[in-house]
Amino acid sequence: MTTEPASSLADFIGGVSLRQLLYLRMAAHQPSFTAAAAALGITQPALSQALLEVERRAGVPLFEANGRHRRLTEDGRELLAFAERVLAEAAALRDRLDARARGEAGTLRVGMIDAASLYVLPDIIREYREQHPAVDLQLHVDATAALLTQLRTFELDLVFAIGPPENGIEGIEVLREPLHVYAPPGRDDPHAPPLHAEWALYESGSHTRAIIDVGLGRLGIAPLVTLQSGNPEVLRQMVALGLGWSVLPPAVAEGAPVLASRRGALVAQRSLFAMRRAGAAPHPRADEFLRLALAAA
Amino acid sequence: MTTEPASSLADFIGGVSLRQLLYLRMAAHQPSFTAAAAALGITQPALSQALLEVERRAGVPLFEANGRHRRLTEDGRELLAFAERVLAEAAALRDRLDARARGEAGTLRVGMIDAASLYVLPDIIREYREQHPAVDLQLHVDATAALLTQLRTFELDLVFAIGPPENGIEGIEVLREPLHVYAPPGRDDPHAPPLHAEWALYESGSHTRAIIDVGLGRLGIAPLVTLQSGNPEVLRQMVALGLGWSVLPPAVAEGAPVLASRRGALVAQRSLFAMRRAGAAPHPRADEFLRLALAAA
DNA sequence: AACACTATCCATAAGTATAATATATGATTT
DNA sequence: AAATCATATATTATACTTATGGATAGTGTT
């Protein structure tokens, strides 16, 4: 009967559980504690004690005697309203988490290199958007190195970039692209670039450029690079306009038919990997997106 | 690492406490679990375990490794948002309950008999309203029996009515009123009502009427009642118009000076009690109202 | 009507199971 | 070497059950 005046916020928060709020709601909605306890699947003393504990935490009586029943006080109704709100929030949260676990809601941030965005993934993006309209799909196009940095700093969930995956990143190969020499229109044989040839290549420092440099070296070519661009469309145009030679994946170079007949030697292969942080938390939406990508490849 | 799929709503609600939500919020706002634990005044393992327990209940990972720190997953941010909302609700509830405990907010339902409302309590009502403008003060005027019924059925918090208090009701005397015979204007001696006098009295069945009947009997009078009313103003008017005799408290009868000189014998005394349910939960607002009433008396 | 009789409801007590926390320690990362 | 988080174990606190008592309301009997 003597309720300790433990009415500090910390005491209240520290001691009250969602279960107790559930008990309170049931006790308020059922005709008696006994009926409420039965509906909750616990014994009547357990319910009585739990409610007394809530009273103690709240610092005010929540029930008062009414014959052999007990009824809510005005303070009790105040606390009941709180309980209803919190329990409704909890149910909504549970729904959200479940929807997210099913991949039906939430955010999916995918990073991809421009070649992927242009030639490989558009259909998959469209398909994913159709199948999961409630997912907030955010796409970022950048170079491999930048994408991997963003992946590491939790700014992206899934990255399609040139592999193989480095330390702390795990991935699966989605596509393997050959990289061929392409000659500018004219007399020269695409398979025999002259020594004085000028080259338009991917930017120095990029993953693809590193692969290309190694491959060209194996072919005995030390390219004279007069133009660098991270944009493969730019490189293709340079070649098509006769301004130099390049090394490109056919998917890029032959998108317009101009360069199809100008393909030269196979310089190297680059692999497009789908990558995530090693040991990252499960991500149903990323999993689904990747599933679509692998199914298409 | 292997989180059991305990992702049912009942499991979530059953296991999560407000304290864990507090822990989650602190862990999200502090740079490390260690710092958060220190800020919470608990040890780091206690915090780690509590958060792991929440993860288990939620069925999804809330944190993921980031170097030697851990950071929230998207699901974790979802749960954090829930925690913020609930904790804000809890703080607001605490404020409301505290304000109510101080008598500064809430509802106060006071019942009173009309005599009290007319002659005794108006100043107190005005004073209370001035001092506690945030309290929703609801006044009900009715006969004693009806008021006590409403008190018993929790429709009123405090009642000013004719005592003494019955079983299940406890009260304190606020005012003792004499009940005098009042004679109609004319030749008759107010102290000697004739046998054939016609009387206008409180309604049969009312507390005051019962007291009056007993008192008149002691004076050897068996009144011939030609008019009954629960409204003492009506009775006063009847007497003033010469239609009969009555028994009234001077506060009623002499409100207008008409009947002052027509006062006869003291029939009885009735006591105005402030009454509450016996064993009712503390009610700071009722207490304050009663304090004002007693101070004025 | 008054009385006991019975059923219902809630509180309390005591014992037991579960959960929360602290201390000590290990693994990993910077 | 320092910092961070996880794990193991012991201890304490909390939650629950069973058993029981007190109060109230309904029911039948004298």
Structure confidence by residue, pLDDT tens digits, A234-272: 888 888 888 889 999 888 888 766 777 889 999 999 999
Residue A153 buriedness (CB in 10 A; 0-12 / 13-18 / 19+): exposed
Q: Do A37 and A124 reside in the same domain of the chain?
A: no
Give the per-residue pLDDT at B286. Answer: 93
Asked whether residue A277 is assigned to any structural domain, the reply reads yes
Q: Do A184 and A69 reside in the same domain of the chain?
A: no
Are residues B150 and B142 in contact, defined by beta-carbon separation less than 8 angstroms?
A: yes
Structure confidence by residue, pLDDT tens digits, A36-64: 998 888 999 999 999 998 988 888 888 88
Q: Across the interface, which of A21, A61, A93 has its CB nearest the CB of B78? A: A93
Asked whether residue A4 is assigned to any structural domain, the reply reads no
**Is nucleic acid strand D under 7 Å from A84's C-beta?**
no
Give the per-residue pLDDT at B1. Answer: 32
Residue A1 has pLDDT above 50, yes or no: no
CB atoms within 10 A of CB A291: 13
Give the per-residue pLDDT at A256. Answer: 67
* Protein-proximal nucleotides of chain D (any atom < 7 Å from a CB): 3-8, 14-20, 22-25
Chain B partners within 8 Å of A61 (Cβ)? 281-282
**Is nucleic acid strand D under 7 Å from B34's C-beta?**
yes
Asked whether residue B50 is assigned to any structural domain, the reply reads yes
Angle in degrees, 0-180, between the axes of helices B18-29 and B74-101, rounded to the nearest 10: 120
CATH of the domain at B203: 3.40.190.290
Distance of CA B24 to the CA centre of its chain: 39
Is residue B77 less than 8 Å (CB to CB) from chain A? no
Of B80, B101, B122, which residue sits at a domain end?
B101
* Protein-proximal nucleotides of chain C (any atom < 7 Å from a CB): 8-14, 19-24, 28-30
Q: How far apart are CA B79 and CA B83, in angstroms?
A: 6
Of B101, B134, B157, which residue sits at a domain end?
B101
pLDDT band with cut points at 50, 70 and 90 for residue A158: very high
Q: Do A161 and A45 reside in the same domain of the chain?
A: no
Find residue A17's DSSP bridge partners: B17
Contacts A–B by Cβ distance under 8 A: 126
Give the per-residue pLDDT at B60. Answer: 86
Asked whether residue B261 is assigned to any structural domain, the reply reads yes
Residue in chain B closest to A103 (alpha carbons) equals B75
**Looking at residue A258, what DSSP letter applies?**
G
Chain B from 128 to 157: CB within 8 A of any A CB: 154
Q: How far apart are CA A132 and CA B221, in angstroms?
A: 92
Residue that the structure tokens 């000076």 belong to: B257
Q: Quick one: what percent of chain A has pLDDT higher than 90?
A: 30
Q: Which of B47, B51, B74 to mutate to test the interface with A (most CBs of A within 10 A)?
A: B74
Q: How far apart are CA B182 and CA B184, in angstroms?
A: 7
Lowest mean pLDDT among A10-19, A20-29, B166-175, B285-294: A10-19
Q: Do A184 and A231 reside in the same domain of the chain?
A: yes
Chain B partners within 8 Å of A106 (Cβ)? 74
Q: Do A85 and A121 reside in the same domain of the chain?
A: no
Q: Do A68 and A127 reside in the same domain of the chain?
A: no
Q: Quick one: what percent of chain A has pLDDT higher than 70?
A: 97
**Is nucleic acid strand D under 7 Å from B44's C-beta?**
yes
Of A101, A124, A143, which residue sits at a domain end?
A101
Distance B96 CA to C14 C1' (A): 38
Q: What is the pLDDT along chain B (297 residues), one digit of tens a residue?
A: 333 333 577 778 878 899 999 999 999 888 888 989 988 888 999 999 889 888 888 888 888 877 778 888 888 888 988 998 898 889 889 989 888 888 888 899 999 988 787 777 888 999 999 999 999 998 888 888 888 888 887 889 999 999 888 888 889 999 898 999 999 998 789 999 998 899 999 988 888 898 999 999 999 999 999 888 888 888 888 898 888 999 998 888 887 677 878 899 999 999 999 999 887 888 999 999 999 999 987
Strand D interface, B 57-116, C-beta < 7 A: 63, 68-70
Asked whether residue A106 is assigned to any structural domain, the reply reads no
Q: Do A61 and A182 reside in the same domain of the chain?
A: no
Q: Do A71 and A139 reside in the same domain of the chain?
A: no
Asked whether residue A211 is assigned to any structural domain, the reply reads yes
E-strand ranges in chain B read 63-66, 69-72, 106-112, 135-141, 158-162, 169-182, 198-202, 224-229, 246-248, 263-277
Q: Do A263 and A229 reside in the same domain of the chain?
A: yes
Is residue A91 less than 8 Å (CB to CB) from chain B? yes
Asked whether residue A2 is assigned to any structural domain, the reply reads no
pTM score of the predicted model: 0.74
Chain A partners within 8 Å of B13 (Cβ)? 18-19, 21-22, 87, 90
Interface touch A74/B106, C-beta < 8 Å: yes
* A150-174 average pLDDT score: 88
Residue A291 has pLDDT above 60, yes or no: yes
Give the per-residue pLDDT at A130. Answer: 93
pLDDT band with cut points at 50, 70 and 90 for residue A103: confident
Q: Do A149 and A27 reside in the same domain of the chain?
A: no
Domain count, chain A: 2
> CA angle at residue A25 from A28 to B78, to 5 degrees?
165
Mean of per-residue pLDDT scores for chain A: 86
CATH of the domain at A58: 1.10.10.10
Distance A51 CA to D26 C1' (A): 28
pLDDT band with cut points at 50, 70 and 90 for residue A108: very high
Q: Do A154 and A87 reside in the same domain of the chain?
A: no
- DSSP letters of A45-91? HHHHHHHHHHHHHHTS--EEEETTEEEE-HHHHHHHHHHHHHHHHHH
Are residues A121 and A174 in contact, defined by beta-carbon separation less than 8 angstroms?
A: no
Chain B partners within 8 Å of A21 (Cβ)? 13
Nucleotide nearest to A43 (CA to C1'): D17
Chain B from 263 to 282: CB within 8 A of any A CB: 277, 279-282
B231-259 burial, b if ≥16 CB within 10 A, otherwise e? ebeebbbbbbeeebbbbbbbbbbbbeebb
Domain of B27, in residue numbers: 9-101
Give the per-residue pLDDT at B252. Answer: 82
Asked whether residue B196 is assigned to any structural domain, the reply reads yes
Q: Do A127 and A255 reside in the same domain of the chain?
A: yes
E-strand ranges in chain A read 63-66, 69-72, 106-112, 135-141, 158-162, 169-182, 198-202, 224-229, 246-248, 263-277
